[in-house]
Structure 1
Amino acid sequence: MSVDDAPAPVPAGPVPPPVFVGDLHRDTSVLAEYAATCEALLARLPARPRRDASQQRSADAAFAASRAARRAFLALHTEAVYDALTEGRSRHIRLPELVLLAAERFPGLAPTRDQIALERTFIQAEKEGREIDQGILCGALLRCREVGTHLIDAMLLPTSRAGELLADFRATGRAELKTVLVERRGRAAHVTFRNTHCLNAEDDQLIADMETAVDLVLLDDRVSVGVLRGGEMDLPRYRGRRVFSAGINLKDLRNGDISFVDFLLGRELGYIHKMFRGLLTDPANALWSDRCTQKSWIGAVDTFAIGGGMQLLLVLDRVIAAKDAYVSLPAAEEGIVPGLGNLRLGRLAGARLARQVVLGGRRITMADPEARLVCDDIVPTADMDEAVEQAVHELSAPAVAANRRMLNLAEEPLDQFREYLAEFAVSQVARAYSADVLAKVEARWQRSASRT
């Protein structure tokens, strides 16, 4: 073995934990110095795929120490950090920009842009797991009531991309995005998933396109109701059939292409929450009914709604399913947390059924009596279009918007949503890097590769 091939020496353990005293300026310097020390230990090691067991234990110890320091720093300074980043909460900054800004303004508090970019060059199993540090920051921000509420507002604002497309959409009634098509038909805007190469599985692109689509629907005054439906597939097994959603794209998860901030957390704070609670169009207004634009939403489920697809149904006002369709939340199989499914499914279907679905992997077919707990209308495939049109007519009634707003307020208060997401931010990102999840997605990817 050559000198170049010899394993790097195992670094000594991290220095003793830093001492924070509650002064933001001083503690910021202490954190930066301590994080730099931990990074220096990591820099002496090979990249994760080339480490031996002893070297990986040293890396794990360095990350554990730096994460403990971040938690201790945030326990004292979460509000002050957020105020510094948002200029005293005078600016609404979306989460992806906020976590990178935090890394610049408070060195060591979160991974830098370059560190995250480097991580994206590895498959999930070979990453350092720096998104875990983003999860620590996001969880702390959401856990603080005033800060979390302001951040939620930021994520409910219209996206700049929707602003760029709005005039054309209003004029033509059509917006064709990479994975989504939006078409205005009468008083309804039909949002069709067209991620056809993967059975409408969710990836970073689909999440971004869906938020743009939802913004357009909510900003167009000629639209009263939004309709979600999967487009026709081009994969041989389902060619010509509509599919609602296959859930998270596990191939992308394995390959390290699923973003924590943009996907795993962003979809909950972004387009799904906008559908549920409304688009923030007047942040200065104290009345939620006046500060947000809300509309009714219909889901038309053909073939299946798996994982994130089923999660989506839990915020809709009317769900119409074909008789041969089924729904499932395979969280036990995948090993990750099914978004806000754990918060919402029990409310709709009862705690016992929620446990059977989430913990036991139970699949609900439209022939099951329990299907009526998550779907409103179950019809033959040939009658789906007619059933959707009837639902659009009913949900366009003037009193619907006010009543759905009050129902949502009673069923899921904002603080409940915020507190759940604070824990979700930490739990979900940890699961995405856990050994069992990595093994499952690798095994599934190997099976898929062997069939091609």
Structure 2
Amino acid sequence: MSETTNDLILTHVQDAVGVITINRPKTLNALNVETLLALEAALTGFEQDPQVRVIVLTGAGDKAFVAGGDIADLNSRQGLAHYREFAEVIHRVFRRFEVCDKPTIGAINGWALGGGTELLLTLDIRLAAEEAKLGLPEITLGLFPGAGGTQRIIRQVPLCRAKELMFTGDQITAQEAVQIGLINRTVPRAALMDEAMTLARRIAEKSPITLKLLKRTLRDGADMPLSAAIGHEQAMIGLVLDSQDAHEGCSAFLEKRKPQFTGR
């Protein structure tokens, strides 16, 4: 295990899993520009680390994953300054998580409100503590989700439910979030990180190159008509079959042994 910290973001690596912890518990892990830039740097480090195969993201403390943005900061801004100084950063960082070639898992340890829900919408798999609350309450401030949330949520949950969440600003329980497909499942709070790490280790055993190409197939295909997406899939599985890992996996199956994937 290795561990680093820059106060705002904690990172460590264990068993091929890189863990990123947003570390502002006194502000309920609210996102500001400084925190977003530190978060981006942590992600970049794990993307470039060949020892890291899966990334887990969580929040410090037992109250919040990310409780949103800094309201006082938002209140101090006019539109153009916000667009230049904050919106560009948060959109870039969230998109970086969304297009990351390595699988990402959210361990939602508490409130995920506003920017917190928008952030989890960029992650591949989402586990939540049973007590977690989620929502997009921006409308109660005279705002609406502005970090990609309006577009990502309507592509991931039924449109009528997405609209209800955004129009009312209501918080929902983790159990309700499971029902609408916003998160995968709930976990007792005490077991959340163990569950996330167990899942991450299972995924980390798979072929890194195949996971990378699978993620690209899913991501790119989602924006294509079905006929084009099927053709894209056909091309991508052809690339997979050029990898050593594909033949290692098939050989291991035939030889009744566990495959040893190297990412080649």
Per-residue CA deviation, residues 373-432 of structure 1 (Å, 9 max, x unaligned), is 11112111122122112220232221332212211112247xxxxxxxxxxxxxxxxxxx
Report what 2:10 is aligned to.
181
Report what 2:72 is aligned to.
251
Report what 2:151 is aligned to.
343
Contact (CA 8 Å) 2:178, 2:186: kept in 1 or not? no
- Give SS of 2:156's match: helix
Match of 1:377, as an amino acid? R
* Structure with greater contact order relative to length (CA < 8 Å, sep ≥ 6): 2
Compute the displacement of 1:370 (Å). 5.0
- Is 1:276 the equivalent of 2:98? yes
Q: Cα distance 1:412–1:274, how it changes in 2: closer, same or farther (>3 A)?
A: farther
Compute the displacement of 1:260 (Å). 3.0
- Give SS of 1:367's match: helix
Report what 1:357 is aligned to.
165
Contact (CA 8 Å) 1:318, 1:391: kept in 2 or not? no
Contact (CA 8 Å) 1:303, 1:326: kept in 2 or not? yes
For residue 388 of structure 1, the aligned residue among 188, 196, 203 is 196
For residue 54 of structure 2, the aligned residue among 194, 213, 225 is 225
Contact (CA 8 Å) 2:65, 2:112: kept in 1 or not? yes
Contact (CA 8 Å) 1:275, 1:295: kept in 2 or not? no
Compute the displacement of 1:304 (Å). 1.1
CA distance in 2, matches of 1:222, 1:242: 31
Q: Cα distance 1:178–1:369, how it changes in 2: closer, same or farther (>3 A)?
A: closer
What is the TM-score of this pair, normalised by structure 1?
Answer: 0.46
Report what 2:27 is aligned to.
198
- Give SS of 1:400's match: helix
Post-superposition, which runs of at least 4 consecutive aligned residues in structure 1 deviate over 4 A? 256-259, 369-372
Contact (CA 8 Å) 2:105, 2:124: kept in 1 or not? yes
Match of 1:244, as an amino acid? F
Report what 1:409 is aligned to.
220
Compute the displacement of 1:256 (Å). 4.3
1:118-133 mapped onto 2 (5 Å cutoff): none
- Is 1:367 the equivalent of 2:175? yes
Match of 2:122, as an amino acid? V
- Structure 1 or 2, whichever has the larger Rg, is 1
CA distance in 2, matches of 1:212, 1:369: 30
Match of 2:86, as an amino acid? F
Match of 1:173, as an amino acid? S
Report what 2:86 is aligned to.
263
Q: Cα distance 1:259–1:175, how it changes in 2: closer, same or farther (>3 A)?
A: farther
CA distance in 2, matches of 1:369, 1:182: 27
Match of 2:142, as an amino acid? G
Q: Cα distance 1:369–1:222, how it changes in 2: closer, same or farther (>3 A)?
A: closer
CA distance in 2, matches of 1:372, 1:355: 13
Match of 1:401, as an amino acid? K
Aligned-residue sequence identity (percent) comes to 23
Number of residue pairs matched by the alignment: 218
1:36-435 mapped onto 2 (5 Å cutoff): 173-232=2-61, 241-256=62-77, 259-269=82-92, 271-278=93-100, 294-338=101-145, 339-368=147-176, 371=179, 373-396=181-204, 397-398=206-207, 399-412=210-223
CA-based RMSD of the aligned residues comes to: 2.0
Compute the displacement of 1:353 (Å). 0.6
Contact (CA 8 Å) 1:323, 1:381: kept in 2 or not? yes
Q: Cα distance 1:388–1:369, how it changes in 2: closer, same or farther (>3 A)?
A: closer
Q: Cα distance 1:334–1:394, how it changes in 2: closer, same or farther (>3 A)?
A: farther
Per-residue CA deviation, residues 140-183 of structure 1 (Å, 9 max, x unaligned), is xxxxxxxxxxxxxxxxxxxxxxxxxxxxxxxx833312311111
Compute the displacement of 1:348 (Å). 1.0
- Give SS of 2:168's match: coil
Contact (CA 8 Å) 2:8, 2:23: kept in 1 or not? yes
Q: Cα distance 1:371–1:194, how it changes in 2: closer, same or farther (>3 A)?
A: farther
Compute the displacement of 1:351 (Å). 0.6
- Give SS of 1:315's match: coil
Q: Which structure has greater helix proportion?
A: 1
